[in-house]
A and B are shown apart, each in its own frame.
Chain A
Amino acid sequence: MEPITGKVWKYGDDVNTDVIFPGKYTYTVTEPAEMAKVALEDLDPDFAPNVQKNDVIVAGANFGCGSSREQGATCLVHAGVGAVIAASFSRLFFRNAINAGLPLVQSVEAVAALEKGDEVTVDVEAGTVTTQAGTFAFPPLPEAVIGIFEDGGLIPHTRKALGID
């Protein structure tokens, strides 16, 4: 997988799924382009109109806490987000992101080194984040789930495993 380079959008701790993708939209906003338009609506109204392909979200602890809603991860993918770097991730967001093929980086150091608007490069294969302040290593994904990620998400992975693709 090619390294991803983009601009940083920075947020705090405990960014929850209701501000990433409001509950009131979970049954009404279902098209990818529409989902992209409401991403982070209740947290940062500037985000959706201005996000560029491969931009990177940087946040504090427990990113994606709250609901199990998968749209928390998929709306970011549809908005073009290349990766999320956080001090830690909620368990459900972690699963949903892997299943959607969205790269996640857990690195307290990288979060501290990055500010809004910075340029950052995430190299998932090498396990590094490169910022103006330097390069930080992050732990690789657990071996047992790396295949899901490499196949581009859970559904393509399952099709492959079942011999359909």
Chain B
Amino acid sequence: MSGQTFSQKILGAKAGKAVVPGEIVDVIPDVAMSHDNTAAIARTFATIGVDRLYDPDMHVIVLDHCAPAANEKFATNHQEIRAFVEAQGIESFYDVASGVCHQILVEQGFALPGRLIVGSDSHTTSYGALGAFSTGIGRSEMAVIMATGKIWLRVPETMRIDCDGRFAAGVYPKDLILKIIGDIGADGALYRAVEFDGPAIADMSVSGRLTLCNMTIEMGGKNGYVHPDQKTLDFLNGRARENFETVTSDPDAEYIERLRYDVSGLEPQIARPHTVDNVCDVSEVAGTRIDQVVIGSCTNGRLDDLHQAAAILEGREVKNGVRCLILPASSDVTRAATQDGTMLKLIDAGCLILNANCGPCMGNHEGALAPGEKALSSANRNFKGRMGCKEAEIFLGSPASCAAAAITGEICDVREIASPEALAAGLEA
């Protein structure tokens, strides 16, 4: 028998037997995450006819999708969730002052190597950046986990993407993942686990790896993965909630496909409306007028992302007529960026600092677009209507590309407007 992939090992350990890709197993996850959709899930849970949660301690609930509530309807939704959390004795509850669910699971030490994590949110793929097996599920499935603890999962085939080289100044992990998605398409990794490896990944910060795994779903992937290394362990030191063992693919594991990228020659990438795989070099869309810029989200709203954007915006001004919204991924990020002066640089440049939540990323409230408007965002989706208006256009790029567009009022190559020092900033993490 050939070696096993990390997915086989993690799912096999949970199933209590050796498993092969394609096999369907019933498993009990270590962590089950839900957000503002918990009220709907709780209502479905109530229809099953079980009174108490199978295990309140496996659930983590974060209010982030419209936080704080935009109106009575959202407020009632939150109220229902708080009552459910209280009634069921769920300890791991993060109310509206916390941040975006995926960042919370990472910061608060729930996302750990070797763990099986499911979430009723498609970007649950993020935690693979720390070596977990993590994937999105539906609301009814979460309701059934509440009742029985269990879910069925298909053991995925794994594709491996080896990344060589070094990023040029002004080019970031976001550009790499956009490039890959553009090349293989929105279904290029359908049903598959995607393992990122190679020297460029070893050099990459945990934050950059989170960006890659967060966007793995945008190419159809079931989960993303980076094998844990010293950077992972350093990041988890003092953060991990419990002991863990790293799980890695065997050297002779079978991959369904292998791709190789050299990041050295990569240009800044932009995804054009209305699909994430509609990707091009920035030069192809340079000059596109922009009304709103969003820097943040669970994809690129961490401290290093804000450092990169602030270094470019420092001492300059957001162009008149452009709205530049800063959307930190968590309140811890807001705190750190306030303490180290990053927020002041952004405010002085004319940016608007939002509270840490999903906000403009999915069009629930703050920062919606008007018909005919164009936005450049560092989030992960540019689908029609995503920012609340189907006659608006959304482009995606790195936080640095976003900062550059905020200054010039149009999509442009950040390397043409920023100093070498500014382009080198924020890479320390």
Contact = CB atoms under 8 A, between A and B. Distances in A.
Interface of A: 13-14, 16-19, 22-24, 26-28, 30, 41-43, 61-62, 65-70, 73, 88, 90-92, 95-96, 99-100, 142, 144-145, 153-155, 158-159, 161-162, 164
Given A61-B187, A68-B122, A162-B48, A153 B138 contact: no
A87 B145 CA distance: 30
B390 interface: yes
A138 B101 CA distance: 39
B73 A24 contact: no
Contacts of A162: 48-50, 147-148
B109 interface: no
Nearest to A16: B383
B383 A66 contact: yes
Given A66-B383, A88-B190, A162-B49, A154 B140 contact: yes
A137 B279 CA distance: 36
B37 A26 contact: yes
B152 A91 contact: no
B36 A23 contact: no
Nearest to B143: A155
Which one of A61, A91, A155 has the greatest number of beta carbons of chain B within 10 Å? A91
B24 A142 contact: yes
Given A23-B363, A28-B73, A70-B138, A18 B384 contact: yes
Given A19-B385, A91-B222, A158 B24 contact: no
Contact of B385 (A23, A27, A69, A100): A23
Nearest to A164: B49
Contact of B141 (A18, A99, A164): A99
A68 B120 contact: yes
A158 B148 contact: yes
B302 interface: no
A164 B313 CA distance: 60
A154 B386 CA distance: 29
B220 A90 contact: yes
Contacts of B48: 155, 158-159, 162, 164
Contacts of A159: 48-49
A92 B73 CA distance: 27
B364 interface: yes
B277 to A, nearest CB: 8
B243 interface: no
B232 interface: no
B369 to A, nearest CB: 11
Contacts of B138: 68, 70, 73, 92, 95-96, 99
B94 interface: no
B65 interface: yes
Contacts of A70: 138-140
A70 B141 CA distance: 10
B66 to A, nearest CB: 7
A87 B106 CA distance: 36
B186 A99 contact: no
B425 interface: no
Contact of B77 (A13, A18, A27, A161): A27
Interface string B38-81: 00100010011110000000000000011000000110010000
Interface string B116-155: 0001111010000000000011111101100110001010
Contact of B73 (A27, A42, A99): A27
B40 A18 contact: no
8 contacts: A18-B384, A19-B383, A30-B40, A92-B138, A95-B138, A95-B141, A144-B152, A162-B147
